[in-house]
Each structure stands twice: as C-alpha cells, then as structure tokens.
Amino acid sequence: MFAVWEPRSHAGAQVVNEPGAFCWNELYTTDPKKAGDFYSELFGWTREPLQMPTGEYTIFKRGDSQAAGMMRIPKEMGPTPPHWLVYFAVDDSDRTVDKARGMGAKVGVPPTDIPNIGRFAILNDPQGAGFAVIKLQMPAQA
C-alpha cells in the first residue's frame, strides 16, 4: 500500500534538505525490475542505475532532478516486505541516533558512512515505524 498526492495550489514541503526536514525517499524491494517499471510508468520517472559495493542502486529521476532511490532488499534484512523509507536530514547522525535511542527508538542500522553522500542510520520509533536520518556531505537541491 502507498499513497500519492496531487499538489494543486499547495506546492508541498516548504523546507527540505535542512536538518530536521525531509531529504530523501528510498524504495526497498524484492523485485527492482518490476518496481522500477511500475514507478517509471506511473510517474514518468527515468532510471539511473549505479553500481554500489552492496549491489545495484537505482536513482529515479524527474527530468534532471533526483526523485527517489531504489534497491533490492539485502539478505541481512531477512524476510522484510517491500517498503518506502523516508530520510530526514540531521546535523550529526551519531548524536541524533543516541538521542533517539534515549527516547525509545530501536537502531536497525547504526550510523554508517556512504562515500561521497554522508553518514546515515536507520531507526524504528517506539511504535515500530521505520525512518532514516542522514548527515549529508553536500545537501541535494530540491
């Protein structure tokens, strides 16, 4: 299940790519080909595959702008269903993870460096909702 939104007169988030604000969406899937075809056809996105140490990572693009990312669910995640993960920009990933843990969050992926991108972590809030935080090396332009 997922939801879509048509902005009409409201353009969307007024703040992005700043600490505390949305900065990225990422699709984890068991079938990148099928999911890539679906979202490309539905939204008119193009795909730019990148080879990463963990396997292929796809950037969905809307014109020249990056819209989202996609990757195959890693075996280390076990029987995880396909899902979208939202990323929030932070000033310090390690400090944010420590604060979230103190407030009841569980750490799924500890602070980890992504070369030329930043330092990220994946968390679950006290009710189990997943999200990610990232200290971007160079924030993307919205």
* Residue 55 domain flag: yes
Q: What is the pTM of this model?
A: 0.87
- In terms of DSSP H, where are the helices of the chain? 32-43, 93-102
* Residue 47 domain flag: yes
* Residue 14 domain flag: no
The pLDDT value given to residue 139: 56
Domain, as residue range, for 115: 22-136
Contact 87, 25 (CB under 8 A): yes
> Residue with structure tokens 């006290």?
126
Contact 14, 130 (CB under 8 A): no
* Residue 6 domain flag: no
CATH number, domain of 87, equals 3.10.180.10
User: How many domains are contained in the chain?
Assistant: 1
Tens-digit pLDDT profile for the chain (142 aa)?
A: 778 888 788 777 778 888 999 999 999 999 999 999 999 999 999 999 999 877 899 999 999 999 999 999 988 888 889 999 999 999 999 999 999 999 999 999 999 998 888 999 999 999 999 999 999 987 555 4
* Residue 9 domain flag: no
* Residue 31 domain flag: yes
